[in-house]
Amino acid sequence: MPGIYLFTVFTVTYVKNHHHQSLIHMGLANSTSIALEEPSDKHTATLYYFSGRGKADQIRWMLAATEVDFTQKIVGHRDHFVTMSSRQLPFGQLPLLQIDSMEIVQSQAIVRYLAKRSHLEGKSIEHTTKCDMIAEAINDFIPLLCQCPFRKYNGTTLTDVGQLNINVKEWEAHHSMLLDKWFFLGNRLEAILKTNLPLYGKKKQQGPSPSVGSAVSVEDYDMGDVFMVGRSLTYADILTAHLVTWFVEECGTEAMRSMPLLVALQHKVFSLPGDSIYLTCPSQLLTNHPVSVTNFL
């Protein structure tokens, strides 16, 4: 079984400029006393979020996979966020992406814009709908991963043994729930790839194709053009690979041993030129994970 990749989040730097356009027309206060956050004049896109993964992490993957040059600006203080919210966040939430002379908010709107921008939303309305369904299922799981850093005991802040025991039990309960929900979602995603395997995969040895409803042996096929939707890369593949990576970092690799097609898809996404650069970029680290990219299993 190929290794599952563990990676950290970095800032990626860029080389293009677009004219800034504010969102005052969306009903925000038209006050000249509040300074606007201006996009970088050296990058195609500027992403604003708190320090950490959260709802911006899918966007980082989409930017990297589609080879969009971007930089990140950390909103590290409440006053900073409140100021932005009063002028540039129409729904009072981050992330915010400045790109193509626009300011886009709401994480899934940003993800879908980047998919359409790079023609990764699917080749037909049917494929687009399937991509959207997969993306929504994945998005339902992301909040559970977002909670992980707040559930874990990091060994630096707690001195009371009783409180430590409470935190350990809280993490164990959350970890158990994560595994239960992952086995449902992960197996459904694996099943989608397995269904596509005889349709788009390359058979290792010539022979009759399996009949409809018959068992498919994963070992008989190379992944070839096997993706989540159709026979080419879509944003559903990028979000799936991102989900696998984040889940493994929080819960370990054991749960992936029965999902070889998801691991293979993760490798395919990681081999994209933009992701290859993203994974090795020696830039500012935005999470508490160690600076490393590890291939294991």
- Sequence spans of domains, the chain: 4-117, 125-232+234-271
In this prediction, residue 83 carries a pLDDT of 85
Reference 226, options 262, 206, 197, 203; nearest CA is 197
Tens of pLDDT, residues 180-233: 999 999 999 999 999 999 888 777 766 555 555 555 666 667 777 899 999 999
Q: Which CATH class is domain 125-232+234-271?
A: mainly alpha
Reference 74, options 91, 90, 54; nearest CA is 54
In this prediction, residue 215 carries a pLDDT of 57
CA dist 68 to 3, 28, 59, 237, Å?
27, 28, 11, 17
Whether 224 and 253 have beta carbons less than 8 Å apart is answered as: no
In this prediction, residue 34 carries a pLDDT of 53
Q: Would you state the structure tokens that stand for residue 176, as one six-digit string?
A: 């158990």
Q: Would you state the structure tokens that stand for residue 90, as one six-digit string?
A: 């129409």
| Continuous H helices in 147-223 | 148-151, 161-200
DSSP summary character for residue 247: H
Regions of the chain short of the pLDDT cut 50: 1, 5-25, 27-33, 156-159, 161, 282-297
Strands, E assignment, the chain: 4-6, 45-49, 70-74, 96-99, 102-105, 202-203, 221-222, 294-296
Using CA atoms of 261, 263, 267, 268 in order, give the dihedral in degrees to the nearest 10. Answer: 30
CATH 3.40.30.10 matches 4-117: yes
In this prediction, residue 276 carries a pLDDT of 65
Pairing of strands 70-74, 45-49: parallel
Residue 193 CA to residue 223 CA, distance in Å, equals 9
What is the number of H-type helices and E-type strands within the chain?
A: 9, 8
Whether 48 and 103 have beta carbons less than 8 Å apart is answered as: no
Residue 46 CA to residue 96 CA, distance in Å, equals 8
